[in-house]
C-alpha cells in the first residue's frame, strides 16, 4: 500500500515537472515571437521614416520613386541626366538609418 502511494506521488511530481517545463518553453517561444514581431514593426516604422526623409529631400524631383526595406533604399524612375541621379543617391545615402542605396534610375534619352 505504501509503495502504491509513493509511486502515485512520484508520477504526479513527474507530470507537474514536465508540465512546468513545457509551459516555460511555450512562454519563452511566445515571448520570442512577440519580440520578433516588435522588431519587425520597429523596422517598418524606421523604413517609413527613412522614405519620408528622402522624399522630402528630393521634393523637387517628383519623378524619383523611393522605397525602403530593412534600411535598404531603392530609387527608381527617370532623371534628366546622370548628375541628378548621382545627387539623388547621395541624398539618400546621407539619411541616418540607410544601410544601402540601390539605384534603378534611368537617364532620359534626348
Backbone angles phi, psi at 102, to 5 degrees: -105, 130
Mean pLDDT by 10 residues, the chain (110 residues): 65 63 55 57 77 94 94 95 94 95 91
The answer to whether 76 touches 105, Cβ cutoff 8 Å, is yes
**How does DSSP assign 58-93, residue by residue?**
TTT-TTEEEEEETTEEEEEEEESSHHHHHHHHHHHH
The answer to whether 86 touches 75, Cβ cutoff 8 Å, is no
The pLDDT, as a whole number, for residue 109 is: 85
The answer to whether 69 touches 51, Cβ cutoff 8 Å, is no
The pLDDT, as a whole number, for residue 88 is: 94
The pLDDT, as a whole number, for residue 68 is: 96
The pLDDT, as a whole number, for residue 2 is: 62
Distances (CA, A) of 74 to 3, 51, 83: 73, 10, 17
The pLDDT, as a whole number, for residue 90 is: 95
Query: pTM for the full model?
Result: 0.62
DSSP-derived secondary structure letter, 100: E
> Count of residues for the chain?
110
Q: Where are the domains of the chain?
A: 2-107
CATH number assigned to the domain covering 2-107: 3.30.1340.30
Amino acid at each position: 500500500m505504501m509503495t502504491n502511494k509513493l509511486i502515485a506521488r512520484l508520477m504526479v511530481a513527474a507530470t507537474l515537472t514536465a508540465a512546468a517545463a513545457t509551459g516555460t518553453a511555450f512562454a519563452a517561444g511566445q515571448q520570442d515571437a512577440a519580440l520578433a514581431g516588435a522588431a519587425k514593426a520597429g523596422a517598418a516604422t524606421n523604413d517609413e521614416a527613412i522614405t519620408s526623409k528622402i522624399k522630402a529631400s528630393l521634393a523637387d524631383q517628383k519623378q524619383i520613386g523611393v522605397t525602403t526595406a530593412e534600411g535598404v533604399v531603392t530609387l527608381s524612375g527617370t532623371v534628366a541626366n546622370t548628375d541628378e541621379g548621382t545627387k539623388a543617391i547621395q541624398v539618400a545615402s546621407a539619411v541616418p538609418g540607410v544601410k544601402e542605396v540601390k539605384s534603378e534610375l534611368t537617364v532620359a534619352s534626348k
